[in-house]
Homo-oligomer: A and B are copies of this chain.
Amino acid sequence: MIKTDGCLFIISAPSGTGKTSLVRALLQSNPNLALSISHTTRPPRPGEINGRDYHFVTTETFREMQLNGEFIESAEVYGNLYGTSQQWVNKIISSGQDILLEIDCQGAQQIRRLFPQTVGIFIIPPSVEVLATRLKTRAQDNPEIIQKRLAAAREEISHIAEYDYVIINDILEHALSDLASIVKAEHLKQNRQLINCSELIAQFS
């Protein structure tokens, strides 16, 4: 049976939009979706586990991988390096499984150049006030970082038109339902279905 490649979904959102909770909830409800785990030089936050949240590597290792062309995209955010392994993306996609990539607009641009069929989803907070409040409750962030992130949020949101879909994350369950609908609808698109249902359609020709 002929099967299409998996879908590649990119999710971008300003820091503090609740993207990570949303993505975790989606992954729990959809076993056909694999989360891409980035390599990063940023130190782990409390509770983060190497190999689950990120592959934590030294700057030296990261630069070496970069020189070997192992990253499909890489970016520097707040002075830390992030990258996604191309080998892993190709393997998962060609097995028919979907991939979810949580990256910023710089990374999204790089991915789209290599995979034009990428589906980009942008998550926005319901208001500036809500975003500021969410950033403040992150205990490990200091006021200077909060201001830096609000400015970064403005910069990220200025790239919203580069994405295919926009979701407002006000109530988590609603945003989750929106996200799940997009993933489902993408699989029902005619170009995918004509391949996946080719045997069924052939019965009628």
Interface residues of A (CB under 8 A from B): 122, 124, 126-128, 153-154, 157-158, 160-161, 163-168, 177-178, 180-182, 184-186, 188-190, 193-194, 197, 200-201, 203-205
Contact = CB atoms under 8 A, between A and B. Distances in A.
A128 B188 CA distance: 20
A12 to B, nearest CB: 12
B200 A126 contact: yes
Q: Tell me how many chains of this kind the complex includes.
A: 2
A178 B188 contact: yes
Contacts of A204: 124, 128, 153-154, 157-158
B185 A168 contact: no
Contacts of A163: 190
A127 to B, nearest CB: 6
8 contacts: A122-B190, A126-B200, A158-B205, A160-B190, A164-B190, A180-B181, A181-B188, A184-B185
B124 A200 contact: yes
B200 A188 contact: no
A122 to B, nearest CB: 8
A184 to B, nearest CB: 4
Contacts of A167: 188
B178 A193 contact: no
